[in-house]
Structure 1
């Protein structure tokens, strides 16, 4: 069986699941968003209202780069919500190894339980950035910092609602999107229709792959609820927003709506990415997130350090 046929089969499964919810054959999940304005990141708790089981997606560990101080203000909002709602957490998911914020997954796991998971291609990211940060042999590059590594089409469960993992490379090699009932969590594949798409110029990124990944997701039904990982306020918009529909993305996304060819998208994305500066927290974020949300081991003075490569990137 070819890779294309496998991918189509997995997508067909996701399409059917969304349709079942829309036709009343399956329950829709409850989705609660938590916006961290300092990193423009949206974290989610998605839960089955019947069983009270839940998954957490793309959590934030607050980090002040100037002082090197960390706090769990954003994560504690999630903890408070989960406890107030009487939810039981089964999964703590990452859509990818983020370059703009540190993951609070281990902290949330300690507080709430659940298994940490990310796409299997995190091993590729670990290989690339393990070299960039000169991590040596002490840094495992096999994804073992996570409880589960997910492949395209893997099916988890949020209570009685299936969660389908879809591999959507392009922004990074490891990006995953998650379909839970009629809800799609896109990670950094695309943003609100008036803002467009994610950059594809990080190591391992590929604008052509990103185009194909977004086009794949756009085959989901029009009514699919689409939940985004970031919002930056598009021009002429005064509010942060992070939920839309697949119909809106497919017909109105300013970068990749219907009718935009792959070559035109790649040309736009390449030209645009060349003007973008590096994310403010990319260096601390990747050192932590490639470790599954853990800091490097303390040195002989008991202090943990994050590296700053000079004239390398």
Structure 2
């Protein structure tokens, strides 16, 4: 069954967010919303999230879910802001607890920071089904990039987070805590098994020079042309490539601020006694 998909691009981070709409009921889900963040000034904003809200209101949609594919390391989530505006529950893969435990240690967050996922309204397991009007959102565990990565299948579409990029960009890195190239390979094979006609929507695009940013491809296009994971790429070849490539990659520019916010379900750190929230900058750790 075909679903309506609206895409929203954030050029500073190369991120795509989505509104997934059941045409019959006008119920919708938000996937991977982005919070504006000026790292130099330490300022947050909502212009990107407000564009999404405008689309919700113009189409008179009933947003039933706000969904995260994982705790992103390259942008801050606008999930908390949208939840406050829309009243929809916020869900993420149950693996977020492992991510919280890892980064609570790195940021020395102390016992006051819960590492049980309770900042989110629902923790999702592989195979869970979420209602969306006359449709259902099927949860697929697709770890490898991170331990908490999930994909969401809705009708003829699947929203894959950072599991894969567009065919000419390849696959996501696997060197974050909890990442694993072998696991990612098997997760991608699971996505490929959804069928060649399945539409794939990525969370990021870093296009080669001369190509505009895109968000949509198909399983068939990935299997035939993904530069890292075509059908003829073996597990051993992929792991060797991914391991060598990851060793050359710089730490993502926004990993330190984004993880601190994203493991809190988009909430900023609690204000200190002067009413200001602060992000930590651990030295010589990553």
**Number of residue-to-residue matches in the alignment:** 286
TM-score normalised by L of structure 1: 0.90
- C-alpha displacement of 1:301: 1.5
TM-superposed CA distance for 1:237, in Å, is 3.8
Q: TM-score, normalised by structure 2?
A: 0.99
1:212 aligns with 2:186: yes
- Unaligned runs of 5+ residues in structure 2 are none
More helix by share: 1
Tell me the equivalent position of 1:281.
Answer: 254
Unpaired stretches in structure 1, ≥5 consecutive residues:
1-20, 22-27
Higher mean displacement: 238-247 or 284-293:
238-247
Answering whether residue 49 of structure 2 is matched by residue 75 of structure 1, we say: yes
Alignment of 1:184-199 (within 5 A): 184-199=158-173
Three-state SS of the structure 1 residue aligned to 2:76 is coil
The Cα shift of 1:305 comes to 0.3
Q: 1:19-168 residue pairs with structure 2 within 5 A?
A: 21=1, 28-168=2-142
CA distance in 1, matches of 2:132, 2:206: 29
The equivalent residue for 2:149 is 175
Aligned to 1:238: 211
Q: In structure 2, how many angstroms separate the alpha carbons of the residues matched to 1:161 and 1:229?
A: 22
**1:300 & 1:112 partners in 2: Cα distance?**
30
1:296 pairs with one of 263, 269, 274: 269
CA distance in 2, matches of 1:187, 1:290: 16
Corresponding residue of 1:261: 234
- Moved runs in structure 1, 4+ residues, more than 6 A? none
Residue 91 of structure 1 aligns to a residue in which SS?
strand
* CA distance in structure 2 between the partners assigned to 1:112 and 1:303 by the alignment: 25
How much is the aligned-residue C-alpha RMSD, in angstroms? 0.7
| Distance in 2 (alpha carbons) for counterparts of 1:90 and 1:77 | 18
